[in-house]
Amino acid sequence: MLNKVSGTALQAIRLELNQFQETAGKIASASEFTSIKPVSETTRSLLDLTQHQQQVAVNAKVLKASGEMLGTLLDIKV
């Protein structure tokens, strides 16, 4: 079960990091925030970056907790 939790957390981290890079690319292609891209679209991208960052942090905590539980189980068993 812990392997499944760890695997799911790692997969989610990879997904969020890929989406983070994609969103960062959208912002970068906005030609330094010129009028080519609507401000609301750029704002949405910035909010998306924040959301991806938070999702990575949450999944990292899940991964850490999973590792700690595994360590506790190993300590109990030994």
Q: From CA 26, how far away is CA 40, in angstroms rounded?
A: 13
Domain ranges of the chain: 2-77
* Cβ neighbours of residue 2 closer than 8 Å, sequence gap 6 or more: 66, 69, 70, 73
Pick from 51, 50, 72, 55: which is nearest to 8 by CA? 55
- What pLDDT sits at residue 58? 96
Instruction: Please write the tens of the pLDDT for every residue from 18-49.
Output: 999 999 998 888 755 565 566 688 889 999 99
Position with higher pLDDT, 74 vs 53: 53
- Is 9 within 8 Å of 66 (Cβ atoms)? yes
Share of the chain above pLDDT 90, in %: 54
Write down the pTM of the prediction: 0.75
Q: Kindly state the average pLDDT of the residues 6-13.
A: 93
- What pLDDT sits at residue 77? 66
